[in-house]
Amino acid sequence: MDINSNFFSKFYLICCFFYFFQVVNSQTKEEKLGIEHEAKRLFRTDVKKSIKLYEYLLENTEETDLLHYRINMVRLKLMNSENIEAIDLMFDLQKDLSTTKDRHLQRQFYQLEAEVFKYFGFTTESGRIQKPEDFKNQNENSKSQNTLFNIADELQINPDANVASPQIKDIEKIEVKLNQNIAIFTKARYLAQLRQYYLLKKDEKKYMIYDKQLLDLQGLHLYQIKIARNYLASKFSELKQEQNETVSKRIKTWSLAFSFIFIGITGAIVYYPKDDKTALKKKNQVISDKAELKILERLQDFENSQKYLDESISITILAKKLDTNVKYLSAVLNNQKQKSFNQYINELRIHYITERLKSDKKFRGYKISYLATACGFTSHSSFTSSFKSIVGITASAYINKLNEEDGLKK
């Protein structure tokens, strides 16, 4: 029983908490909507109050609505001629928006950015910012409840523009409002109305007063625009420089990585065949299996004919004699005999002379140079060096050794 009552009391408490949370939450939402509605209503008549209300919303809002309020805050700051603050806010907003995936908010921001650039006279950049797809949605956006107002429509001071003259009953009210803390664009509208009224009334003095005030206001506005243009251009160029540097860094990193990959692949391709002599052999065998056999047979004939004793024999001549070409003969010698052409010929010649020295004692009494010529060597030195490298001892030592052996036998 106790357990059940405990469970129900806890369940009841949790339900109460959720109910309370929902009520508070919906109240807060309603309250915020009310505040925003009031802020929007006031932006023409009391922009400073409107800014304060938006500041309150910004302080007491979750992340999602925050960006939307900040977009409107940029517009309000412009309305209040706080151009530098508006530009700063816009660039901060751009950084924060780069992480959001909310396309609607992004579109709103692009529209704001394009409007701001256009307002300060950078029409080319404005057109570049406003993407074609956004143009399609421009009407939809400007009508959207989330957009406070269109900058180009609201922020104008044109002393040449004709405005409708107000009713006499409104004149006093307008003159009172002029002395209040109002935005210069609102003030410009009131001044133009009053000027028109006094022009129709042919009150030259009053006309001049309001016209001069309007001209001064335009002068102030143009000066503020000039300063803001310089600031916007500087900020924008800083941002572009940062972006370019980031892209440049990224490209450099990728470039470095790709360079290593390229060099690695090239290195692998260049070094791969070195370790793969068998691949070359296989290729030779596959291509010249029959031809190789033929050449081997012809080589055997060549060896038997002792034509290697010919001093003028070279790989080219031999290849011709064997009815093949140099590279293939070289490949066959390499693969089948594991020798170069010179090694092969020298071995045949040295083998011939050693046999002759063994079988014919007369030869043992000849000079080394004669022996060299007899077996096809053109130089004495190449014969001696070849003899030593093939037999292991010099020719004269070999002859002595043969003589000694024969002496022992006797």
Partner 1 sequence: MQLRNAYDFLYEDPQKAISLANAIIRKTENHDEIITGYVIIINAYSSLNQSDNALRYAFKALDMVQSEKDIISKVRILGLIGEQFQVCHFNDESRFYLDQAQSIISDLRISPDQKRIYSGNIDAIKGNSYKDDLDCNFAIDYYNKAIKDYLRVKNNSSATNNLCLVYIEKSECLIEQSSLDSASIYIAKAQKIADRYDLKGYKLKARYTEAKNLSKRQNYKESNALLLSVLHNIGKLQDLHFRQDIEELLVHNYFHLNDFPNYRIYSKFLKKSRSLLESAHSRSNDKGLYFILKNTETTEFIPYLFLISAVFSMLILVFVLVKRKDQFGTISSL
Interface region with partner 1, contact rule CB under 8 A, candidates 87-95, 180-188, 322-330, 387-395: 322-330
One-letter amino acid of 357: L
The Cα–Cα gap between 246 and 237 comes to: 14
Q: Please report whether residue 84 would count as binding partner 1 according to CB under 8 A.
A: no
- Within residues 274-293, the interface with partner 1 by CB under 8 A covers 283-284, 287-288, 291
Please provide the distance, in angstroms rounded to a whole number, between the alpha carbons at the two ends of the chain: 131
CB of 165 to partner 1, least distance (A): 18
Q: Please report whether residue 270 would count as binding partner 1 according to CB under 8 A.
A: yes
Q: Could you say which of 262, 289, 369, 382 contacts partner 1 (CB under 8 A)?
A: 262
CB of 122 to partner 1, least distance (A): 5
Q: Please report whether residue 211 would count as binding partner 1 according to CB under 8 A.
A: yes
- Per-residue binder mask for partner 1 (CB under 8 A), 61-80, x = binder: --------------------
CB of 237 to partner 1, least distance (A): 5
CB of 213 to partner 1, least distance (A): 10
Q: Could you say which of 13, 14, 152, 208 contacts partner 1 (CB under 8 A)?
A: 208
Of residues 168, 170, 181, 1, the one with CA closest to residue 80 = 181
Find out whether 161 and 192 touch, Cβ atoms under 8 Å: yes
Closest CB to partner 1 among residues 237, 306: 237
CB of 202 to partner 1, least distance (A): 10
Distance of CA 41 to the CA centre of its chain: 47
CB of 176 to partner 1, least distance (A): 24
Q: Please report whether residue 15 would count as binding partner 1 according to CB under 8 A.
A: no
CB of 79 to partner 1, least distance (A): 20
Closest CB to partner 1 among residues 200, 265: 265
Number of residues this chain uses to bind partner 1 (CB under 8 A): 57
Q: Please report whether residue 316 would count as binding partner 1 according to CB under 8 A.
A: no
Closest CB to partner 1 among residues 17, 254: 254
- Within residues 145-204, the interface with partner 1 by CB under 8 A covers 159-160, 204
Q: Please report whether residue 234 would count as binding partner 1 according to CB under 8 A.
A: yes
Q: Could you say which of 56, 91, 302, 328 contacts partner 1 (CB under 8 A)?
A: 328
Q: Please report whether residue 229 would count as binding partner 1 according to CB under 8 A.
A: yes
Of residues 402, 317, 302, 385, the one with CA closest to residue 346 = 385
Closest CB to partner 1 among residues 16, 256: 256
CB of 315 to partner 1, least distance (A): 14
CB of 204 to partner 1, least distance (A): 4
Contact residues for 62 (Cβ-Cβ < 8 A; gap 6+): none
Of residues 89, 84, 132, the one with CA closest to residue 112 = 89
CB of 326 to partner 1, least distance (A): 9
The Cα–Cα gap between 365 and 369 comes to: 12
Closest CB to partner 1 among residues 29, 250: 250
CB of 164 to partner 1, least distance (A): 19
Interacting residues toward partner 1 by CB under 8 A: 120-125, 159-160, 204-205, 207-208, 211-212, 215, 218-219, 222-223, 226-227, 229-230, 233-234, 236-237, 240-241, 244-245, 247-248, 251-252, 254-256, 258-259, 262-263, 265-266, 269-270, 273, 283-284, 287-288, 291, 324-325, 327-328, 331
